[in-house]
A = this chain, B = another copy of it.
Amino acid sequence: MHNIGILGYGTVGSGVAEVAKETGFLHVKYILDIREIPSVSNIVNDINILINDPEIKVICETMGGKEPAFTYTKLALEKGISVCTSNKELVDAHGVELSEIAKAHNCNYLFEASVGGGIPILRSLRQSCSHEKITNVTGILNGTCNYILTRMKSGQEFDDALKEAQANGFAERNPAADIEGHDTARKIAILASLVSGKKISYEKVLCEGITNISGRDFAYSEKLNMSIKLLGVYDSGQNKNYVLTAPFLVSAEHPLYNVNGVFNGIMIYGTMIDNLMFYGRGAGKLPTASAVISDVIECIKESGRNIYNGLNEEILNVSDINQRRDKFFVRVYDSDLEKVLKSFGHVSDEIKLYSDEFAFITENITLEEFNKLSAGLEIKNKLRVL
């Protein structure tokens, strides 16, 4: 029996306790939470009790947020206690520093559950693809947004889909972090850091959400036999490093097209292995907890030796997003047809579904070029095409 501690008894934390019990060889000796939870016997509110108990070799940090998670994690690692976390905000903000501390104390800081919920993407990158040169990562990384977009595809408007997501517990009461793309940006920043071997913080990621997607956008996508997905993208072709979060049109043939509801899908391209995709539950109590436990098991196996977790101090040089080439799907007012033809020249796939507007898809151009060409045009909406 291995004794572990849990920091924070929320959705994921209580899931970790449940999954740990299932394993039969993990015993949750302490659960740290500021609240009094009568149903839980081994609850404590002082971190020192955990880090001063020599029986505790691994702690699961499922509090979320920067503090006190950062302070507690540091205290544990400095005592040589490994920490496994689902806290992407902390990994993004202090992951490198915490990894250094773990290294210095021959223990580990692992964060499988911080990206893709139950999907074993980080371990696969770390252990199966460490010899691959991975030049592209494209992922549906936020279950809340994917649920909303999936419902919109079947006819709902954004506000109703959001309300439904909240009613089903798939979206927070304050959904900003999800629907504005910040959560996806944090996750693609972590993935980009791991595959590039250099640090990228999420402030460097172009961050567009889904709040301006309308039923009309889906009507056009239907017509084009495509769907709309919020994607996190890392793209390091031609000595450029683009990292962005934005809604994309995805064709029905693409493996990410069928990633629906709260599920996540992450596609990577390696120069030898070609395309790989991982699909699974990107959130939820037990899947996320299962990922935390997979880290706990690795920490126990590797007890006393620090393993490379993929994070490095060196900063990734992120390229100017204005120089990235994309095809853009654009909706403009009907009255602007002449302007469009004048500035964009021959417009491929001009689509007419509504009397007051039409849509078209540009050639492969940079955002800078797009902005020049669309000067004077009133753009109703624009989406990148994958």
Please list the residues of chain A having a beta carbon within 8 angstroms of any beta carbon in chain B. 19, 22-23, 112, 118-120, 123-124, 127-132, 253-255, 257-260, 263, 267, 270, 272-281, 284, 286-287, 289-291, 293-294, 297-298
CA distance A118 to B274 in the complex (A): 8
CA distance A301 to B289 in the complex (A): 27
* 8 contacts across the A-B interface (CB closer than 8 A): A118-B273, A120-B124, A128-B291, A129-B294, A254-B258, A263-B275, A272-B290, A275-B279
- Return the contact of A131 from the options B129, B273, B274, B293 (Cβ within 8 A): B293
CB-CB under 8 A from A118, the residues of chain B are 272-274, 276
Q: Smallest CB-CB separation from A307: which chain B residue?
A: B301
Q: Is the pair B132, A290 in contact by a Cβ cutoff of 8 Å?
A: yes
- Per DSSP, are chain A's interface residues mostly helix, strand or loop, or mixed? mixed
- Return the contact of A124 from the options B124, B273, B293 (Cβ within 8 A): B124
CA distance A287 to B132 in the complex (A): 10
Q: Smallest CB-CB separation from A298: which chain B residue?
A: B127
Instruction: Name which of A112, A128, A287 has the most chain B CB atoms within 10 A of its CB.
Output: A128
- Return the contact of A276 from the options B119, B253, B267 (Cβ within 8 A): B119
A277 and B274 in contact (CB under 8 A), knowing A123-B127, A128-B294, A258-B253?
Answer: no
Q: Smallest CB-CB separation from A119: which chain B residue?
A: B276
